[in-house]
Every structure is written in C-alpha cells, then in structure tokens.
Structure 1
Amino acid sequence: MPTSTISSTDPSVDHLIQAAPTESCSTDLAAGPWTFDAVAGYGPGSSMGDVIPTGAPRQGELPAEYREASEEDLDRRIRAAKTTLGDRVVVLGHFYQREEVVAHADYVGDSFQLANAALEHPDAEAIVFCGVHFMAETADLLSTPDQAVILPNLAAGCSMADMADIDQVEDCWEQLADVLGPLDATDDSGRVPVIPVTYMNSSAAIKGFVGRHGGIVCTSSNAETVLEWAFERGQRVLFFPDQHLGRNTAKAMGVPLHRMPMWNPRRPLGGSSAAQLADSKVILWHGFCSVHRRFTVAQIDQARAEHPGVRVIVHPECPMEVVDAADEAGSTDYIRRAIDGAAEPTTFAIGTEINLVRRLAAQYPQHEIFCLDPVVCPCSTMYRIHPGYLAWVLEELVAGRVVNRISVTADVADPARAALERMLAAKPRA
C-alpha cells in the first residue's frame, strides 16, 4: 500500500488521476464534471455503480467560458467575484471537496458544522454551498426566508441519501403499523412502538417525515446521544439511510446484532419476519455510503504489516468488521481532531474520503498520513462541484441573478426543522 506522497503542489485528486491513471478509480474523473451533466447517473467515482432515482436533479449546460477557462483564470474570477460581493455572500465547503474549491470557502467542515455556519450568517444574501444536495436543503431549512441557498451543480446529489426514498419510507411505516399496532400508542412507560431516526445524510422529505412522527436527525458525531434520546421515547428505532452508522453505534451501546434486523424496501416486511421486527431494538435501512464501503479489513491488515505501530482511524459509515478492526472510529471532524491532537510524529491510516485524507497529509507533514484504500476513488457527487461552477454562480450573483437556488417547501420544511432542532439539542458528551 503506498503511503501518502501529497504535497501542496498536488491540489486535487483530479491532478493525481491525470498523473497516475492506472491507480485511479476511473480516469473519467480527470474530465470536467460538465461532461456528465446530461447523463443520468452519479458520474465517475465511488458511487458510479449506484442506481440514481428517476427524476434526480440534472444540471443545465455550463457556459463555455467556464468550461474552457484555465484553473488560473477561474481562481482569479472567483476571487474577484467574492471581493465584489463581500459580506453579501458566504461560501461553505465540505471536507470532501476538491482543494481548488476548498481554497475559496469561508468555512470548511462536515455537513453539521456547515449547517451551523449557515446559521451564523443571517445577514448574507446568499449561501453558496459547495457540497451535495441534502446539505444545501439543510442550509435552506436553517437559513432565513430572505436568504438564497445555492448549489453550484444541481447534479451533486448523494447516493446514500437517495437510498431512502420518501415513498419507500412511508410504505415501511405502514407495514410496521400492521406488525406492531398503532404507532402512536404508548406502553406503560410512555414509549411508542418505534421512533424514526434519520442521519443528516438524507433528503429534506425524509427529515420532514421524521419530524412529523416525533423523530430526530443525527450526525456521525452525536449518533449515540440521539439513540439514547430515541430509546427513552420508543421501544425501538427505525434508522435510515445508513445501515453501518446505525449498526456500529447501536452495537457500541450494547444492542445485540440479532435485534438489529435489516429493512430492504424491495421486500415484504423489509425481508424480516413479524417476530423479528417485534423483537427488534434497531431496524436498519438497507443503505450505505459507497465511499466508506470500499474499506476492508484486509486493507487494515496490510497497513499494520507495512507500518508497525500505525494508528488506524475509520469513519463509522464503514462496515462493522472494518470499524471493529480499526483502533478508532469517528466523524470527519473526529479524524481531523485526532490528527491535530497527536503530540508525537505518528503514522495514520485513515478510512474516509480521499480528498480529506490528502488535505490532512498536506496540513500535518510531521505525521505520515495515508488512505487505507490505495485506489483513488473520491465521492462521485462531491466531485461534481468544480471551480467552473463556483465561478459561474458567483458571477451570476454579481450580475444580480440567482441561479441553482435550493428551496424546501413549507409543508416539508416545518416538520424537518422540528427534527433538526431536536438534533441540535442532543449534544454529544465531551
């Protein structure tokens, strides 16, 4: 397994792919993402094999002047537009974004941190969210009505979020009522049969469903705190869309695996029996992150063999076997803080998205930091955000035009905000 060879002269995965195409996930990643805007799919990258839902947002054609501009020209135009707009705009960049985009972000973080950053700028006229669709929806839910939330590329979705479709979730809820009885009835301790919990990586429609049914949103940072909250109010939890975060968190809390049946929306009763559902403590939705599913125990074994004393940290969206084999598991911010807090030079093997790992390697040269997965395969949809799209939306704002605005309708927004407010109140232990 190659260790990190990242330097500040390698600004993005795109450059690495062009330099070493035989070691990459797909050489198509080196092309501009506008090449795939008219094609149904997530684009090349980790989730290119996932099935995209019918009707998923498409991005219109990016004007040629942005497609044909050099990196240097795009950088100059973005900086000029931001200078002109000043405090009227705030640019948010997710940890997984390519370096050429992160360089222009006013705030960089995970989806939860960036949602809070949006809250901190109520006077900005526009919030440009360099992330994926569900993140921009969340920013719209938490921003003021007068603010415009903009997603530079409408095709930047999330395959995991798309795995929990609102119609499938509603059908699941009805089937659970047939098995468990009225879902608003309480037992002697005042608990309802099931509390829905959705990961932040879900659509606004799913967050609205959760809010309407007394549930809550969680992040990878506060998942345990949220499950504790839910168990106080419900006999069991329906957790979606990521099965791995739900399983890893509940297992760490002592929930046995046999009480965590999977719900496959394409099968009656999700593929379980009525007895299994009645005995369940956590019902896991059949969803996953294509980035984190790439990590394996074999990769960890190889890292330990080649780097004695290596510290292995993985994201809790990884499969249970990988989390169990690692030294630690935590959110993207946990990983960043763990590396930042290491007093002595340390070798780190990290199981999360490659852009973040490469950035951490460049930021902390005193450590040896490499990605567990030796194949460069970034998040397909995060990669749809390119400096060309960022320059376009910013220059449109300078011209007085708002493009690619993300708006959540009131019937969905109100209950979704309730679920998010419950999440914000569920503070993880220090």
Structure 2
Amino acid sequence: MPTSTIRITDPSVDHLIQAAPADSCSTDLAAGPWTFDTVPGYGPGSSMGDVIPTGAPRQGELPAEYREAGEDELDSRIRAAKAALGDRAVVLGHFYQREEVVQHADYVGDSFQLANAALEHPDADAIVFCGVHFMAETADLLSGPAQSVILPNLAAGCSMADMADIDQVEDCWEQLADVLGPLDQADADGRVPVIPVTYMNSSAAIKGFVGRHGGIVCTSSNAETVLEWAFERGRRVLFFPDQHLGRNTAKAMGVPLERMPMWNPRRPLGGSTAAELEESKVILWHGFCSVHRRFTVAQIDQARAQHPGVRVIVHPECPMEVVDAADEAGSTDYIRRAIAAATEPTTFAIGTEINLVRRLAAQFPQHEIFCLDPVVCPCSTMYRIHPGYLAWVLEELVAGRVVNRIQVTDDVAGPARAALERMLAAKPRA
C-alpha cells in the first residue's frame, strides 16, 4: 500500500521525507532548504520543473546556528522567542506549511482566512507570515503602516503567481482593447467590456493592475461570489493566473466551455481569434498550480476501486476532468470543514497538498483519509519555510531587528488595496 494511504499519528511530511526520501518526488527534499536557496529555481518538490523569472527574490545565508540546530532546539527557541514577544508579534501559517512550522502559528488557514487574520491584529508590531511571497505582500497591503510583515524565507515564492507578470498582463489588456474597444466605456446596461479578476495567488503588481481597472481579487473560497460580482459590472471577465480555478468555477455557474478561451501570453491575441474573444464570457490565463496539476482521473478511479464508497474531494485548482470525476470540489477550508462535519467513519480521498492531507488524517483518526497522489510531493515553495528560518526571524525581533520585511511600494499599494477590499467584501457562501 502506498505510504500516503496509511492512517498516521504523526502528520509531519518532513519526518516522512527524512525517513524515506525514495518515496518523495525528489530526494533533495530531505535536505534543508538553505542548501538550494541561493540556486535559481523553486527548489525540489512539485514545481521544481517550472521556470522561475529572472530577478525572483533570493534568500541570504541562514546563520549556522540555525542550520545546525536540531528539531527540539529550534522548537524551544521559537517558543521562547514568541513568549518574549507576546502580543507584539503574530504568526500566521498557511494550511500547506509543514507541521514543524504550523504548530507555532497563532492562526492557521487558507489565503482568504489569513488575509482577514492580518486585519484583526492592528496592535501587533510584526506579522510573521509562514506562507509564500504573494501572501506576505497581501498582509502588508492590509496591515497598518507601522506594522512590519516578515516572510521567514524570501525564496518562498509561487510558480503559479509567476506565470502572470505585469508586463504580460498590460500587453494582454492593450490587445483586448484593440478587439473590444475602449475597456472603460460602459454599455447601455452600465457594463464595461471586461472586468479583470485575479486570484489571490498573484503579485501585488497584478493586484494593483486589477484595482486600477475596476477589478477584484478572489480566493478559492469566494471565486463564485467574485465572478457574480464581476458579471454584474462587465460583459466578460479576464481571469488570471490559474486557468483551472477560473474554468471550474465558471463551468459550475453555467458558462459554456466554448465561451472560455485560453489566453497564452506568448501568442498574438493569446492564441484566440478576435471573434472568439468577442463571444467570450471568461478569458482564462494560461497558468496553473503545479501541486494540483498532479492529480488525475486515473488516481480517482484507483481510489474508488480500492476503497468502495470512498468520498473524493479535490481542490478547484485541479484540472476540470479531475473536478468532474470527484464527488466534491472546494477550497482547503472547504475540505477541512467537510471532513470535520462527517458524523460517521468515512474514507476520504483528497486531492490537495500533502501537508494538509496528513494533518487532517492525524486530526480525524475516526476516518481513513489519504492523498490521491501516492507520491509525497509538497508545494516546493511552501516547503522553503523551515523552523530554522522561523526561529531566526523571531529571535531577530526579540533583539529589536526586523529582517526579511515585505513592503509594497506606494504606487502599487493603493489600487491593490482597493481590489483586496472588494474581495474581502465578497463573502463566500457558508
């Protein structure tokens, strides 16, 4: 039986990789992230094959005392630093973080929940965001001017977010204007030709672009609500960077596939004809999540064959055919709530990042919970946040020094904040 189908009591993917690196998607995962932080690329893991943009942030060398410290020592130092800081610092942890980091978070959640958590601590001097770069940027946009947002490892980026850069999006907007006419000119119904919608998994620059053009940010939790908001204001939507979330959400709302052309930024008109763009309802950017692209219909078929009656839940970043084959699709928080709400012992096959799946398996031992993908392959960039980095940034705060601060420039911050505030007002249905 594959390792990931065994019910576990220790949810640590890090321990699994250290013990059995041959069962992971890269044996390099067993090494500390500081061994590859200075090398271009996303690091070992699911997105190791994605091309990283020139100029992507790099992390400087972590002091030797943190690289050489054992797990117990790092755990003690993190707890001591948090106790010394008290309410002056709040630690946010994404669901996909390794267990060794999540256990120290004051709040754990998906990107939507953590964006709200950043708003709820106006008195904290520092917000330490255990996630990836775009999430820390979002926290900076939503936090107060006197607060410092810290990303423990600057190399923790996001390959999906990097698939739509500001120059490509600006060029796309100009080409759409050539086809659709002035994009700020409303029709008789008060709707403009296109409303830009960006997934949370995008840079602050992209969020700023969206804000300047009357658009909105979405998460996997509120994508449908956001699309409804956009359709009230525009005849069509430009959705980026994740094609799968856009396609799956719009399809569930009744938008025909033929009215969802793909925009490939490397091709004129994104690879579509002018007529296809004019007839479109949702224009999908050619981007994806390397973690969720790993899930297949064959994996679902195998799970059903081996576990009759299994309940299959996948993330909406998975390809459409996988979402269609599953029993349900929803955000990371939806998956967590669905399992928590199950009153009878149930077998769950889950299509999302392995750290969350293993944590849920440990949290709900009355159920059998396993990952659809039998190969342990965590999010490459989330895995860059190691307890050594968390201990370092917290102890620097205790010493009165702020390291790895994430700051969005003023010219971007205003419109990006407007797009985020529209997102926060678009509450997902319960």
Shorter-chain TM range is over 0.9
TM-score by structure 1 length?
0.99
CA contact (8 A) 1:149 1:405 kept: yes
- Distance in structure 2 (CA, Å) of the matches to 1:38 and 1:211: 34
- Distance in structure 2 (CA, Å) of the matches to 1:72 and 1:228: 49
- Cα drift, residue 187 of structure 1: 1.2
1:146-182 deviation digits (Å, cap 9, x = unpaired) = 0000000000000000101000000000000001111
- Cα drift, residue 10 of structure 1: 3.2
Q: 1:95 to 1:106 in 2, by over 3 A?
A: same
CA contact (8 A) 2:7 2:370 kept: no
Residue 32 (structure 1) aligned with residue 36 (structure 2) = no
- Cα drift, residue 5 of structure 1: 6.0
1:24-47 deviation digits (Å, cap 9, x = unpaired) = 101100100000111000000000
Gaps of 5+ in 1: none
- Cα drift, residue 339 of structure 1: 0.2
- Distance in structure 2 (CA, Å) of the matches to 1:237 and 1:230: 7
The share of aligned pairs that are identical, in percent, is 92
- Distance in structure 1 (CA, Å) of the matches to 2:368 and 2:2: 11
- Distance in structure 2 (CA, Å) of the matches to 1:342 and 1:4: 21
- Distance in structure 2 (CA, Å) of the matches to 1:116 and 1:428: 13
- Cα drift, residue 91 of structure 1: 0.4
Q: 1:311 to 1:375 in 2, by over 3 A?
A: same
Matched residue SS, 2:4: coil
Q: 1:156 to 1:6 in 2, by over 3 A?
A: farther
CA contact (8 A) 1:42 1:50 kept: yes
Matched residue SS, 2:254: coil
1:182-216 deviation digits (Å, cap 9, x = unpaired) = 10111111110000000011111000000000000
CA contact (8 A) 2:94 2:102 kept: yes
TM-score by structure 2 length?
0.99
- Distance in structure 2 (CA, Å) of the matches to 1:90 and 1:7: 32
CA contact (8 A) 1:314 1:323 kept: yes
CA contact (8 A) 2:160 2:241 kept: yes
- Cα drift, residue 22 of structure 1: 2.3
- Cα drift, residue 119 of structure 1: 0.8
CA contact (8 A) 1:240 1:287 kept: yes
- Distance in structure 1 (CA, Å) of the matches to 2:200 and 2:3: 32
CA contact (8 A) 1:28 1:44 kept: yes
CA contact (8 A) 2:4 2:375 kept: no
1:220-249 deviation digits (Å, cap 9, x = unpaired) = 111111111111110100000000000000
- Distance in structure 1 (CA, Å) of the matches to 2:232 and 2:3: 45
- Cα drift, residue 387 of structure 1: 0.2
Q: 1:166 to 1:426 in 2, by over 3 A?
A: same
- Distance in structure 1 (CA, Å) of the matches to 2:8 and 2:305: 29
- Distance in structure 2 (CA, Å) of the matches to 1:76 and 1:18: 21
1:122-150 deviation digits (Å, cap 9, x = unpaired) = 00000000000000000000000000000
- Distance in structure 1 (CA, Å) of the matches to 2:73 and 2:429: 46
Comparing 20-29 and 205-214, the one that deviates more: 20-29
- Cα drift, residue 7 of structure 1: 6.9
Q: 1:5 to 1:372 in 2, by over 3 A?
A: closer
CA contact (8 A) 1:152 1:385 kept: yes
CA contact (8 A) 2:11 2:361 kept: no
Matched residue SS, 1:270: helix
- Distance in structure 2 (CA, Å) of the matches to 1:425 and 1:325: 32
1:273-329 deviation digits (Å, cap 9, x = unpaired) = 111111100000000000000000000000000000000000000000000000000
Show the counterpart of 2:4. 4
Gaps of 5+ in 2: none
Comparing 178-187 and 299-308, the one that deviates more: 178-187
- Distance in structure 2 (CA, Å) of the matches to 1:227 and 1:292: 22
Q: 1:296 to 1:336 in 2, by over 3 A?
A: same
Matched pairs, number: 430
Show the counterpart of 1:205. 205
CA contact (8 A) 2:5 2:371 kept: no
CA contact (8 A) 1:208 1:414 kept: yes
CA contact (8 A) 1:3 1:368 kept: no
- Distance in structure 1 (CA, Å) of the matches to 2:283 and 2:63: 46
Q: 1:52 to 1:369 in 2, by over 3 A?
A: same
Matched residue SS, 1:8: coil
CA contact (8 A) 2:5 2:374 kept: no
Matched residue SS, 2:429: coil
- Distance in structure 2 (CA, Å) of the matches to 1:126 and 1:142: 13
Q: 1:380 to 1:4 in 2, by over 3 A?
A: closer
CA contact (8 A) 2:9 2:362 kept: no
- Distance in structure 2 (CA, Å) of the matches to 1:28 and 1:379: 14
- Cα drift, residue 2 of structure 1: 3.0
- Cα drift, residue 20 of structure 1: 2.1
- Distance in structure 2 (CA, Å) of the matches to 1:23 and 1:71: 22
Matched residue SS, 1:350: strand
- Distance in structure 1 (CA, Å) of the matches to 2:172 and 2:131: 29
